[in-house]
Amino acid sequence: MRTLEERVHRLKANAELQRIAAAYSGYLSGAQYESILGLFSSREDVWASMPWGTYRGQDGLRRLYTGLYSTLYRDGGCLKPGVLTVHGVNTPVITVAEDGKTAQALWTSPGVFTVEKEGAPNGLQSYWSWQKACGDFVLEEAAWKLLHLRIAPLFTTEFEKSWTEEQADAFACIPPEFGADAPTMGEFPPLELHDKASVGAWSGDPWEDTEDARVTRLELIAEAQRLMGLYSNLMTMQQYDRIPELFALEVPTVRAEMFWGVYEREESITRLYAKLYPRLTENAPGRIADQVQSLEVPVITAAKDCQTAKGVWVSPGFMNIRQSDGTLKGCWSWQKYAADFIRTEQGLKIWHLHVYGLFESEYGSGDIHAFGSFGADIPPELAPDRAPTTPFRLSADSVYPYEPAVPKPYSVFDPDYGY
């Protein structure tokens, strides 16, 4: 069993990794490339793998950040006029090794960038850019440092085109002297779903605000965030049969509410993810080829009694819909998420998941509408158990509601306020 100090060390690692990722993003968007170098380990086996190749060692990192980026983007102390490099991070999945000396983190990175381009209007080309970012971290002299960074594009698209259209190579402008040392790194590490020890075994009197109880609540919050990050990534990777493992299937009141209905209890949740979603994503016109729903703006609260937690998120995303001519239609896809979590013998699990459709829109069409691609042709054997509880549908006459309500601090879970 971990000591209180070890548990706090792990929570600190979680917070520090998120700060480092955000600092990297802030330095990048502010052309503070020397400061980015300071986030990396001083070891010689460091590397940064970009979509066009991998930069190895300290020399490689300098060639990438203070060489390539500085040449392409910076003029004096700041970015060149009109140039923009904004790559945020959300959807964290952070795992600290058992010895507390290394850690791994995965983020989704929605962003935009603008670079100089000969012949483009105003000499500039703007892009939407969604990526996955994965970092290996090491503890060096009590400070967490990046050892390996992998950036893999989900899509990079000129603003004027959908990401499903043919694109010019956005990375063709890299001068040979700043080229990479090696090809991009391969597959991302697999996702480990279970971490029974992520929340301490504390079971004392919750009304005594002991350090143990307070740390347990922080662990519950960190684990709730990790669970939802896992959910998002499993959906992206279409590993639907693994998703029910994230739920408290042994709890009779477990449920998942989609915007087309509510799936209750283990059998229905398995039906939703292991059977319906593979159908929604099969290779046929009108089906989903790819869907990414990131999660940001979390508001998460752990119960005073340390048995449950509650959280809400906004989910910016996109999807590609298969067309009858074999092409794909790229769409923005925004949702909101709310969830209750409950402690089980297998660790913290999702108890109630509620997905709120916000809008979908074919890229560039200007046609914004409520979610409608789903639910129209769900066969009876895969239908939900009951109708959705949130009737809001975005339209020209609808008044946007305040939902889900952010969770307030609470003592014991109240079923009347379940998501």
Query: Measured from the CB atom, is 30 or 347 closer to other proteins?
Result: 30
**152's tokens:** 């893999």
Give the x/- contact pattern for other proteins in 355-374, rule: CB under 8 A: ---xx----x-x-x------
Residue 171 beta carbon to other proteins: minimum distance, rounded to whole angstroms: 18
Residue 127 beta carbon to other proteins: minimum distance, rounded to whole angstroms: 9
- Interface with other proteins includes 376 (CB under 8 A)? no
- Interface with other proteins includes 396 (CB under 8 A)? yes
Any idea which residue has 């290996």 for tokens? 136
Binding-site size, other proteins (CB under 8 A): 78
The rounded distance, in Å, linking the Cα atoms of 253 and 267 is 12
**136's tokens:** 């290996």
Q: Which of 37, 72, 79, 174 binds other proteins (CB under 8 A)?
A: 79
DSSP H or E segment with residue 224? helix 211-236
Any idea which residue has 């993810």 for tokens? 273
Query: Measured from the CB atom, is 86 or 191 closer to other proteins?
Result: 86
The rounded distance, in Å, linking the Cα atoms of 109 and 155 is 11
Query: Measured from the CB atom, is 60 or 110 closer to other proteins?
Result: 110
Query: Measured from the CB atom, is 134 or 180 closer to other proteins?
Result: 134
- Interface with other proteins includes 344 (CB under 8 A)? no
Q: Which of 2, 6, 11, 289 binds other proteins (CB under 8 A)?
A: 11
Residue 52 beta carbon to other proteins: minimum distance, rounded to whole angstroms: 22
- Which candidate, 158, 177, 175, 176, places its Cα nearest to that of 166? 158
Cβ contacts of residue 69 below 8 Å, gap of 6+?
28, 31, 33, 85
- Applying CB under 8 A, which part among 28-36, 226-234, 260-268, 377-385 lies near other proteins? 28-36
The rounded distance, in Å, linking the Cα atoms of 146 and 249 is 37
Residue 228 beta carbon to other proteins: minimum distance, rounded to whole angstroms: 13
- Window 230 to 289, contacts with other proteins (CB under 8 A): none
- Interface with other proteins includes 316 (CB under 8 A)? yes
Q: Which of 45, 59, 71, 78 binds other proteins (CB under 8 A)?
A: 78
Query: Measured from the CB atom, is 297 or 387 closer to other proteins?
Result: 297
The rounded distance, in Å, linking the Cα atoms of 225 and 312 is 10
Check: CB of residue 305 under 8 Å from CB of residue 411: yes
Beta bridge partners, 93, equal 106
Any idea which residue has 């480092």 for tokens? 20
Check: CB of residue 54 under 8 Å from CB of residue 26: no
Check: CB of residue 259 under 8 Å from CB of residue 388: yes
- Applying CB under 8 A, which part among 72-80, 166-174, 195-203, 267-275 lies near other proteins? 72-80
**353's tokens:** 């998941």
**217's tokens:** 């609540």
- Applying CB under 8 A, which part among 9-17, 226-234, 320-328, 349-357 lies near other proteins? 9-17
- Applying CB under 8 A, which part among 22-30, 54-62, 277-285, 340-348 lies near other proteins? 22-30
Whether the CA torsion 215, 220, 226, 229 is positive or negative: it is negative
- Window 81 to 110, contacts with other proteins (CB under 8 A): 81-84, 86, 88-90, 110
- Window 183 to 212, contacts with other proteins (CB under 8 A): 211
The rounded distance, in Å, linking the Cα atoms of 254 and 333 is 26
Query: Measured from the CB atom, is 110 or 384 closer to other proteins?
Result: 110
- Window 157 to 186, contacts with other proteins (CB under 8 A): 159-160
